[in-house]
Amino acid sequence: MSNILSPTEMGQIPPIEIPASSNIVTVRVIDTTTRLHMPVGTMFDPLIKGHTTLASPSYSFLIENERLERKVLYDLGTQQKWQEQAPCVVDMIRTYGWDVRVEKDVADILEEHRVSLSAIEAIIWGHWHWDHLGDPSTFPTSTDVVVGPGFLEEFLPGGKPIEDSPIKEEYYKDRNLREISEAHFNLKFGEFAAFDYFGDGSFLLINSPGHAIGHMCALARTTTNPDTFIFMGGDIASHAGEFRPTKYVPLPSLISPNPLNFLSPKPCPGHLFESIHPQRCGNSPFYRMGTWPDGDPTNEDVPAAVESQQKLQLVDAHSDQVFVILSHDENVGDVIDFFPKIANGWKELGWGDKARWMFLGDFKEAITE
């Protein structure tokens, strides 16, 4: 059986299906203390005046199924001693001149708030990139590492690590490294294929290929009657401007809170942003996927990545029930409460509405020139 998400106030938005359930999980968003300063040009195109650098956090999520007494983490950000990552990763960071700062490991943050590390049954890597892996070796070996489709074949063919791997063996050594294969994704969430992690409909892993081999988003049911959800987007997009606005949810005529001045009581006219939009419109995303300095695309499989973002656009349009949080969205961080506080009340607190257009503040210089 499935439920239908169909916002009545948005009659032009197609409904999406989700497996029915009366079970929820408790979600806490962890600020991992990771801060990455990277040039925008390596992540997406075209450049918009003034928005030249990303000052990105890297969020982790603590998901607790209290009914089953099970806890998992989705992503870990960057390990505190980032210089001790795999040599090829450290070389890449230094070659590109990225500024990486990390104050604490997620394990330290959890222990500071008296969360037992032995209670974490699994660390789910949304994908294998260095700013998501953290350092699982700081957790007991009873904590599994869960990866997405194709990971084992790519990085451990025949059970042996590849040469010069970007993933240190100590991250998974002596612990259960478990892959969610394509066959596991036997449910549907909108146009995505999904896997019911706890088996009770409270928490789904979402097959969202393209950005990297094995990329998975996650969906947590945060309330029932009505159903609300937090969609953990990982790196399905690097910036909200890659999937907003859309034909489903165009730029509003008046935007509040004002993304150019969050404290202003006056809303911001939406047409200001149409004037700097690459297509001079208000119903398609500002950005497309970018390339690295050597010309290679920043996504492993560009057609698949574009398709995943298109699927996300439909999910994101159901904003009265789904709150999308990307791993590196610094604008969301200005709105939400972080761990140890709970994020389940996001709709009642208005976080989704407040955060939706905050990314437009990144274009302030282009608007005011």
DSSP 89-121: HHHHHHHHT-EEEE---HHHHHHHTT--GGGEE
Q: Which tens digit of pLDDT belongs to each residue from 315-337?
A: 999 999 999 999 999 999 989 99
pLDDT average, residue stretch 349-365: 95
| Confidence check: pLDDT of 1 > 60 | no
Q: Quick one: pLDDT at residue 289?
A: 81
pLDDT average, residue stretch 248-267: 91
Q: Quick one: pLDDT at residue 66?
A: 97
CA 92, chain centre distance (Å): 22
Confidence of residue 115 (pLDDT cuts 50, 70, 90): very high
Q: How far apart are CA 38 and CA 42, in angstroms?
A: 8
| Confidence check: pLDDT of 124 > 50 | yes
Domains of the chain by range and CATH? 24-368 (3.60.15.10)
Q: Which tens digit of pLDDT belongs to each residue from 2-52?
A: 566 655 444 478 999 899 999 999 999 999 999 999 888 767 888 898 998
Q: Quick one: pLDDT at residue 10?
A: 44
Q: How far apart are CA 231 and CA 329, in angstroms?
A: 13
Confidence of residue 93 (pLDDT cuts 50, 70, 90): very high
If one counts every other C-beta atom within 10 angstroms of the C-beta of residue 135, the result is 22
Cβ within 8 Å of residue 22, ≥6 positions away: 201, 224
Q: Which residue has the higher pLDDT, 295 or 324?
A: 324
Going by the DSSP 8-state scheme, the letter that residue 306 receives in this structure is: H
Tell the burial category of 170 from Cβ atoms under 10 Å away from its Cβ (0-12, 13-18, 19+).
exposed
pLDDT average, residue stretch 64-71: 98
Q: Quick one: pLDDT at residue 3?
A: 67
| Confidence check: pLDDT of 178 > 80 | yes
Q: Quick one: pLDDT at residue 9?
A: 47
Q: Quick one: pLDDT at residue 76?
A: 98
Q: Quick one: pLDDT at residue 331?
A: 92
Share of the chain above pLDDT 70, in %: 95
Q: Which residue has the higher pLDDT, 63 or 367?
A: 63
Q: Which tens digit of pLDDT belongs to each residue from 226-248?
A: 999 999 999 999 999 999 999 99
Confidence of residue 294 (pLDDT cuts 50, 70, 90): low
| Confidence check: pLDDT of 254 > 90 | yes
Q: Quick one: pLDDT at residue 67?
A: 97
Instruction: Give strand pairing partners of 45.
Output: 288
Q: Which tens digit of pLDDT belongs to each residue from 144-170?
A: 999 999 999 999 999 999 999 999 999
Q: Quick one: pLDDT at residue 46?
A: 87
pLDDT average, residue stretch 86-101: 94
| Confidence check: pLDDT of 345 > 60 | yes
Cβ within 8 Å of residue 11, ≥6 positions away: none
Q: How far is CA 247 from CA 5, 46, 85, 272, 350, in A?
A: 18, 20, 42, 18, 23
Instruction: Specify the range with the lowest mean pLDDT, choosing from 6-20, 68-82, 143-157, 171-185.
Output: 6-20
| Confidence check: pLDDT of 293 > 90 | no
Q: Quick one: pLDDT at residue 234?
A: 97
Write down how long the chain is: 369
| Confidence check: pLDDT of 126 > 90 | yes
Q: Quick one: pLDDT at residue 47?
A: 86
pLDDT average, residue stretch 295-311: 88
